[in-house]
Structure 1
């Protein structure tokens, strides 16, 4: 049934009910805000919330025109539907409700993207870390498994109880030490090198700590990939966590567009609108090619850890228990580069990060990146990057 459209003289009154404790909720708000900027303005009602929180008490007597909400419990879903005004559910934390307009990220596409990424990096061993009874986790898992099974690969898996309490929206009370112990035991059973797809960034960051506990090298033994690209958390950990951008900004934008149409009298779609995922933001936790040679893997890990400390090819060979000539032959055969080139690659990567993310003087960056002096860093940068360090810093800030 069509809804009565608001009058032209009246701004639509829209309530937005989504959590802001995670980047998913914050990005949907950004997407909604962008849509409003590009179209007719709304009077928007919003108050900070946590995931799974009950509908606010003021909503029962509210005389608004539409609602955008992230719903994670049946009581809230029923309460919002009972209001009888246009309502759009975002992200899809529950099974699809007949007759409910929904905009969600493509969890199936996210699972496929993770599988394709790891296969292109040469991995032959795969694992999945997820949460039981969470729709998004289950959907991502099935898609990940399906792609890998089609290519003849099997997948190790560990499913934990959900971290989130759908009734209160808070993290469940549990011992994170025990969770990390369980993850460390599981990680130690995985054959290296192994690609581990973590259903979200929360799981990814706990997996990083579990690997440290089990003395497992990330990414050389286990490569880790999360979902949501929660930059604050992804870059907090060592190594920083690679993550798939689930495009919650796009979810928020499309949810606002859908609600706008419904408030103007358009029929709600019968099927959920799926917004394609964004790109994979590659950070150190997965920035590696699968290497089956244990000596070579040890050499690459040593370079990753110590390239900026003035190490030589001889130091790398000694660490890997190989002669210098054998080391160089294996590097060229497996990686298509020399050990020296790999060391330089790590130095340049460190320099780029410092240029983009800090205001340190160039002389300090050269020292921290392992170059003997600023002029050498400048010459190396121009040769391999096609620009000067100063120009690169300016471009990275745009």
Structure 2
């Protein structure tokens, strides 16, 4: 029997998905027991709370601890002689194993999404209190800087999930000063929902004046929003599964190595909060609408030219000026993203998915896929849908 102490607030979609993956592995191998300790925000770095956790672990005879703590005495935790995995909050914890994330890459994904939609005004809303918000902001702003853009920034002093004490009047004033239209990336869905709520009382139209994108794809929060929130989907469940699998191996081998499990962004769940484009050029806007509404991007360039009554040279010139890449490259990337999304949402064989989406040249599709995702379609599906990999374990990730 393996006994695991679970420390979490258990209220966020992220924590629940992590536990789902963790429990899925435990049910596959069987004979695991859990002791749940719900934590408040104050407990995350409270030394008294940590001593209570250690006391319970020792009295219960826990074999391992997985939880959400920060700024902890790692030597004290390690002294009890059992594996400990901590979910990042304020910072990554040195000297202990971490469940962390590609927060920087999540910010880059958000920036690329808005850039493809033609936006030239950008904003970020988050908190300076957590590493995942700080690094998402960094990834977002760095990617924008690469193309000569910048973002307006508003950071709360603490995570608004744990209270409604943030100065909403100051946030409202900041939002009202943003140029229209602006693409806003929020550090998670709680912050994104706060934005749409404040917009609702500020006569700011979403997405016409302000497009809003969150993180976590918390379906309750996203659909509570008016309009519903677009959100970046993370590979959380698979991360929990891999954490449990690795923890099991460590307990059996009676070793205490340090490791990081990195949870990556997968895709964007598109809803109405980011509907539309910020493109002033009517030719380019017409082309974008045709590409993204005609059967997963399978419209040909010739058909686009005929529908818009324009020459290839003229459209190409306009498209490159507005979007920054050729129309052919845009179509190819969009088709590949549709294929990638279908790999995770369908149980059909990969070749069947390709043909169902109208892709006749599977070899060329695979080449494009590897260029964008750095893995084959089979590896991508195994990695994100089925968890059949150990490559997310990065011992040297700090």
Using structure 2 for the length normalisation, give the TM-score.
0.64
Q: Contact 1:185–1:214 (CA<8 Å) still a contact in 2?
A: no
1:94-123 C-alpha deviation (Å, 9 max, x unpaired): 323333111222211211111111111111
Which residue is equivalent to 1:89? Answer: 86
1:275-309 C-alpha deviation (Å, 9 max, x unpaired): 21232111111122114489xx9xxxxxxxxxxxx
Which residue is equivalent to 1:279? Answer: 267
* 2:183 is the alignment partner of 1:195: yes
Counting matched residue pairs gives 281
* 2:200 is the alignment partner of 1:212: yes
Q: 1:69 aligns with which of 67, 75, 84?
A: 67
Distance in 2 (CA, whole Å) between partners of 1:83 and 1:42 is 20
Distance in 2 (CA, whole Å) between partners of 1:78 and 1:270 is 13
Which residue is equivalent to 1:118? Answer: 114
Q: Contact 1:19–1:26 (CA<8 Å) still a contact in 2?
A: no
Which residue is equivalent to 2:138? Answer: 142
* 2:28 is the alignment partner of 1:30: no
Q: How does 1:247-396 map to 2 (within 5 A)?
A: 247-265=235-253, 270-292=258-280
1:30-84 C-alpha deviation (Å, 9 max, x unpaired): 0101111233431222244444533445234332211111213426x56533322
Distance in 2 (CA, whole Å) between partners of 1:123 and 1:233 is 25
Distance in 2 (CA, whole Å) between partners of 1:48 and 1:162 is 20
User: What is the CA-CA distance between 1:20 and the residue it aligns to?
Assistant: 1.0
Q: Contact 2:71–2:91 (CA<8 Å) still a contact in 1?
A: no
Which residue is equivalent to 1:394? Answer: none
Q: CA RMSD in A?
A: 2.8
Distance in 2 (CA, whole Å) between partners of 1:52 and 1:247 is 27
Cα 1:173–1:121 change in 2 (3 A) is closer
Gaps of 5+ in 2: 44-48, 286-307, 310-314, 320-398
Q: Contact 1:89–1:100 (CA<8 Å) still a contact in 2?
A: yes
Which residue is equivalent to 2:162? Answer: 171
Distance in 2 (CA, whole Å) between partners of 1:12 and 1:206 is 41
Which residue is equivalent to 2:215? Answer: 227
Q: Contact 1:68–1:259 (CA<8 Å) still a contact in 2?
A: no
User: What is the CA-CA distance between 1:208 and the residue it aligns to?
Assistant: 0.5
Q: Contact 2:92–2:131 (CA<8 Å) still a contact in 1?
A: no
User: What is the CA-CA distance between 1:213 and the residue it aligns to?
Assistant: 2.1
**3-state DSSP class of the match of 2:273?**
helix
1:192-230 C-alpha deviation (Å, 9 max, x unpaired): 111100011111111112212221110011100011111
**3-state DSSP class of the match of 2:276?**
coil
Which residue is equivalent to 2:31? Answer: 41
Which residue is equivalent to 1:58? Answer: 56
Gaps of 5+ in 1: 1-10, 165-169, 298-327, 336-398
Cα 1:152–1:249 change in 2 (3 A) is same
Distance in 2 (CA, whole Å) between partners of 1:62 and 1:42 is 14
Using structure 1 for the length normalisation, give the TM-score.
0.64
Rg (Cα) greater in structure: 1
